[in-house]
Amino acid sequence: MRNPPLAGAAMPEQSECLLLFGATGDLMRRMLLPSLYGLEADALLPGDLRIVCTARSPLDVMGYRALAETAIRSAVEAERLNPQTLDRLLARLTYEPLDASFPDRFGALAHAVGPIERGLSIFLSTAPSLFGQTIKGLTASGLSGAKTRLALEKPLGFDLPSSRLINDAAAQAFPESRTFRIDHYLGKETVQNLIALRFGNALFEPLWSASGIDHIQITVSETVGLEGRVDFYDGAGALRDMVQNHMLQLLSLVAMEPPAQFDAKEVRDEKVKVLRALRPLDRASAALHSVTGQYGAGAVAGVPVPSYEEELGHASATETFVALKVHVDNFRWKSVPFYLRTGKRLPTRQSEILIQFKDVRHSIFERRGAALKANKLVIRLQPDENIRLLMMAKQPGLDREGLRLREVPLDIGIANAFTDVRRRIAYERLLLDLIGGDPTLFVRRDEVEAQWDWVDRLRDAWVYNGVVPRLYPAGTWGPSAAIALTERDGVTWRD
Ligand code: BG6
C-alpha cells in the first residue's frame, strides 16, 4: 500500500512520464518491465502515465515493444499473464535510441518525452561512467526541470571519492529532495516489515538493546556465482556489491532508534546516525574482525560448479565472501556484536536476521535438570518470508525423570497470514514511490557516503595487511575462518 499523505503535508505530484535509461539491459528485462506489468495489472500506474524507454540499440517502437513483451512473458507466471493488461502496458511504451555519452544528442529524446509540466521521473540504470554525461544531456535538453526526479541504480561509485563525483554530478541538476538512490532491498516487503515489527509491537522495544540482546547475525547467502557479470563483479567484490549497500541498510534498520514518524526525513535521519556510529574496522582490528573468501570448484545442491577463477577466465584476488564482526558504538548497542556474512556459491539462498536474546537472569529449573536456551527471533527475508520466535516451553509429561524444557517456535508465516496478497517485486514499490514522489525507501546522500566511508577503511586495512581471500569449496558456508570469527565469542552462525 502507498503511504497516505500526512495530514496537512503537501502531496508531491504524480509524474506524467517515466523515462527509463538502460532500457534493453538486464535489470530492465528481469525486474523493471515485470514490475511495470504488476503495477499495470493492479491499476496502480497513473492512468495517463507515459513510459519512454531509451538505450543505445537502434530499435524502433515496435521492435522495443516486442522486446518488452518477450521479457514480460518470460518473467511473469503464466496464470498472471493477461493479454489486455499486457497490451495496455505495451501501448504506454515508446522507445528512443540514444548514445547518452553525447549530451548534445538528447533533443529527440526530449521530443519523445513530450510535456512534463506535471512531472517527469527518470530511472538511470546505465553504467555509472555515463551518469555525468546523461545528466548534462538532460539539462541541455530541458529534461531536468523543477518537477523532474532522478532515480539512480547502483553501483553508485566504487569508493567514497567516486561516489561523491556521482552525487556531485547529480546535484548539479537535481536537489537532494529530487534524487532517489535505489537500494532494492528497501523495496522488499519483509525489509519494510522489520520496521513494522520493531515499532508496531510493544513486545520488542523494551528488550531491543544491549540489556536484552546478546548479539545479532545478518546473513545474505546466495547460491549463484558470477552470472556472467565478469566486468562488474571482479572490480567490485562482495564487500562493495553487498555489504556497502544492502547489508548496511539492513543493519541500520535493525539498530536505529525509533523515528518520530514513518517519513523520509525521520527514518533516514535515524539510519544515518547508526551508519556514523559504526566502529571502523581499521588496520589493527580488521585482521581479527573480518574474513574474506573466494569460491573454488565444488557442488551447489548436488550440481558441480566451477571455481570463481574458472568462471572469470583468469586469476583474481576478488572476494566472493565476507564475514564481519561489527559494533555500533552508541548507548543502545554498547558491546553487542553484529555478525554479518554474505557470499556467492553458498549452500542455500537465504537472507536472515537473527536476534539472539540474552539468557534469563536466573534459572529456577537448574536443580530439576532442565536446561534453558536463550530466546531467538529469526526474521527471514527470503526466499520465504517469516518471523519466528524461539521460546522455551515445558515438554508435556509427568516429569518422573526430571523436568524437560524444549525450544519451540512461534511462527508468523507472512505468506500464510496474508494469503490474498501477491508478493511483489521490490522494484514495483520503488517505481511507484518514484512516480509518486515518496523518498522514504530511497537512500539519502549522507547515508550512502557514511556507508562508503566505513567500507573504504576496511578495504584500506585489507590492502595494508595484504589480505587475500581464502578459498572455500562452492556449496559450503565460506572459509573455516568465518566460523572461527564467531566461535571465538562462543557464538555459532545459524545456517
Ligand atoms: C545485487 C548484487 O545488488 O543484489 C548481486 O549486485 C546480488 O550480486 C543481488 O545477486 C541480490 O539481490 P536479491 O534481491 O536476489 O537478494
In tens, the pLDDT along 238-280 reads 999 999 999 999 999 999 999 999 999 999 999 999 999 999 9
478: containing domain? 186-423+444-487
Distance, CA of 233 to CA of 472 (rounded, Å): 18
Q: Which residue is closest in CA terms to ligand 1's atom 2?
A: 241
196 and 135 together in one domain: no
In a domain, 138, yes or no: yes
267 and 411 together in one domain: yes
Of all residues in the chain, the percent with pLDDT exceeding 70 is 96
114 and 227 together in one domain: no
CATH number of the domain enclosing 384: 3.30.360.10
Tell me, using a 6 A CB cutoff, whether residue 352 lines ligand 1.
no
In a domain, 4, yes or no: no
- Counted domains in the chain: 2
CATH number of the domain enclosing 127: 3.40.50.720
Nearest residue to 271 (alpha-carbon basis) of 287, 288, 298, 252: 252
**Quick check: bond before 155 cis, omega within 30?**
yes
In a domain, 130, yes or no: yes
173 and 191 together in one domain: no
Classify residue 175 by burial, with Cβ atoms within 10 Å: 0-12, 13-18, 19+.
exposed
In a domain, 432, yes or no: no
Domain endpoint, select from 181, 208, 225? 181
| Residues tagged active-site | 246
In single-letter form, the type of residue at position 255 comes to A
> Crossing angle, helix 264-277 and helix 248-255, to 10 degrees?
100
Domain endpoint, select from 155, 181, 207? 181
Residue 413's DSSP bridge partners are: 386
Whether pTM > 0.85 for this model: the answer is: yes
Phi, psi of 138 (to 5 degrees): -65, -40
Q: Which residue is closest in CA terms to ligand 1's atom 4?
A: 242
Tell me, using a 6 A CB cutoff, whether residue 222 lines ligand 1.
yes
Q: Which residue is closest in CA terms to ligand 1's atom 10?
A: 222
The residue assigned the cell 539510519 is 271
In a domain, 429, yes or no: no
Domain endpoint, select from 148, 181, 214? 181
In a domain, 437, yes or no: no
377 and 407 together in one domain: yes
In tens, the pLDDT along 126-171 reads 888 899 999 999 999 999 999 999 999 998 889 999 999 999 999 9
173 and 154 together in one domain: yes
80 and 153 together in one domain: yes
Mean pLDDT of 348-377: 94
